Amino acid sequence: MNRRLVSLSVRAAVVLAVAGMPAHADTVDPWDGDWHGSITPYGWLPGVTGETRFQLPNKGKRGQ
């Protein structure tokens, strides 16, 4: 039980430490006159297919 409590305490301390870190954004001024670029990964997988099946509820005849 004591080992489990220590493990849980260490995990909680790590989560709180990471959550408490400030996020640092890149401070690039887009209007400074210089060119700025970025890379965005893109992939197209033409062979990937999927199928969805579901049952519709049975409805009686109209007017009943």
Residue 21: per-residue pLDDT: 67
**Contact call for residues 26 and 36 (beta carbons, < 8 A):** no
- Would you say the pTM of this structure is higher than 0.75? no
pLDDT along the chain (64 residues), means of 10: 79 76 70 84 77 76 57
Q: What is the pLDDT of residue 61?
A: 63
Cβ distance 30 to 36 under 8 Å?
A: yes
Q: What is the pLDDT of residue 13?
A: 80
Contact 36, 28 (CB under 8 A): yes
How many angstroms separate the Cα of 19 from the Cα of each of 9, 12, 24, 58? 15, 10, 13, 50
Residue with tokens 């099946």: 53
The H or E element containing residue 4 is helix 2-19
Per-domain residue ranges of the chain: 8-55
Residue 36's pLDDT is 78
